[in-house]
Structure 1
């Protein structure tokens, strides 16, 4: 009888770990949008800095 109880305990432990692994962590859309805007702003700033560096001031 003690082996039956041990098997149940093992099954419960496996069920707990499987639930946490199968559920993906979902970020809110607002967070994703703000991250995307931040990245877009950084890329635009790099583009502008490159254009300034390449600009010919001796026109």
Structure 2
């Protein structure tokens, strides 16, 4: 067991703008993904309606 004290170095990032930018990008990406999912679900609903529709007159 060592009796020497070890010094720990900590990096502190004082620039708050570094954290703000990635959050905006994530929000845009999530919104884009959500819109894509919504569009696919709407397309499925419409295709199901067409499949259920009776075309015989």
The two structures have a TM-score, normalised by structure 1, of 0.55
Count of aligned pairs between the two proteins: 43
CA distance in 1, matches of 2:3, 2:32: 52
Q: Which runs of 5+ in 1 are unaligned?
A: 13-25
Runs of 4+ in 1 over 4 A off after TM superposition: none
More helix by share: 1
User: How large is the RMSD of aligned CA atoms in angstroms?
Assistant: 2.8
The two structures have a TM-score, normalised by structure 2, of 0.57
Q: Which residue of structure 1 aligns with residue 27 of structure 2? A: 29
